[in-house]
Amino acid sequence: MLVTDDQIQALEKQAEATRETVIKMLVEAGSGHTAGPLGMADILTAFYFHILQHRPDEPLWEGRDRFILSNGHICPVLYATLAHAGYFPVEECLTLRKFGSRLQGHPERARLPGLETTSGPLGEGLAQAAGIAYAFRMDEKKQRVFCAMSDGEQEEGNTWEAVMFAGKNKLHNLTAIMDRNNIQIDGMTEDVMPLEPLADKYRAFNWHVLEVNGHDIMAFIQAIEEARAVYEKPTLIIAHTIPGKGVPEIEFDYHWHGKPPTKEEGKRFLKEIRTMSGKLPHEYA
């Protein structure tokens, strides 16, 4: 999976467009989560525009890789990414959380093509991804299974049941990505319930562990490539991300975990994203 500088630039531009869509969605919805979706925009862009084998016009294509979003509350960025990738019209993103919308407040598989699972209650995605990976191996299917999860949901017992299961069964076709943004609703993870040393914990459960800057798309793609080459173990990529990435005034602030921007804030945030915080001129800024 070679990736050129031009491709990286295009992916970065796409991630910016996705962030803009996320801000617009949240302002329009009037509720929802802001920090996590902005923090994962680069990684989701890398997945849907470079890494995954998938067909937006044929969401149930048998040969597709599976991307499982475990922490369903960051779904605005999944919806925005799916829309930009061609699964449904980008305009539909503005129906987020509204009555009758396919874009539920937390993702419901049966409502929206492109979703692999129903998620929101934390700690359940990795086990479902492990189940899919296990079944794929039974059937000698070659697709890969990816699971994006949060750091906060490492506090759930269900997560560790899956960690043990995947380690025991050497599910090399499973790659988990942990959004290590260090925040959760009640504060910083290390204050609420210390998680470190996360890498050592996963290694102790027979996982291969990598750590990357979650905003360095090139590095992330290389980590995914390395995971492909690890044949005896599942891989965890700890992606260090900045919650609220792209909008400096909210970056790292856990208060933005679970609230949307107001209209005024939304305008300001969009300007910050479009100008990279004043570093670039932007015709619409």
136 near other proteins, rule: CB under 8 A: yes
Site residues for other proteins, 57-86, by CB under 8 A, read 66, 68
Q: Which of 12, 28, 92, 108 binds other proteins (CB under 8 A)?
A: 108
CB-nearer residue toward other proteins: 156 or 265: 156
Q: Is 135 in the site for other proteins (CB under 8 A)?
A: yes
110 is a site residue for other proteins (CB under 8 A) = yes
| Letter string b/e over residues 139-155, b meaning 16 or more CB atoms within 10 A of that residue's CB | eeeebbbbbbbbbbbbb
Interface with other proteins (CB under 8 A), residue total 32
Q: How far apart are CB 114 and other proteins at their closest, in Å?
A: 14
Q: Which residue has the tokens 């598989």?
A: 109
DSSP string covering 216-273: -HHHHHHHHHHHHH--SS-EEEEEE--TTTT-TTTTT-GGGSS----HHHHHHHHHHH
By CB under 8 A, name the one of 16, 155, 161, 251 that touches other proteins.
Answer: 161
CB 183 within 8 A of CB 35: yes
The reply to whether 134 sits near other proteins by the rule CB under 8 A is yes
Identify which of residues 164 and 276 has a Cβ nearer to other proteins in the complex: 164
Radius of gyration over every alpha carbon of the chain, rounded to an integer in angstroms: 18
Find where tokens 């750590």 sit. Answer: 211
Rounded to 5 degrees, φ, ψ at 176 are -100, 145
User: What does the binding site for other proteins look like in residue numbers (CB under 8 A)?
Assistant: 66, 68, 108-110, 116-121, 123-124, 127-136, 138-139, 141, 157-158, 161-162, 164-165
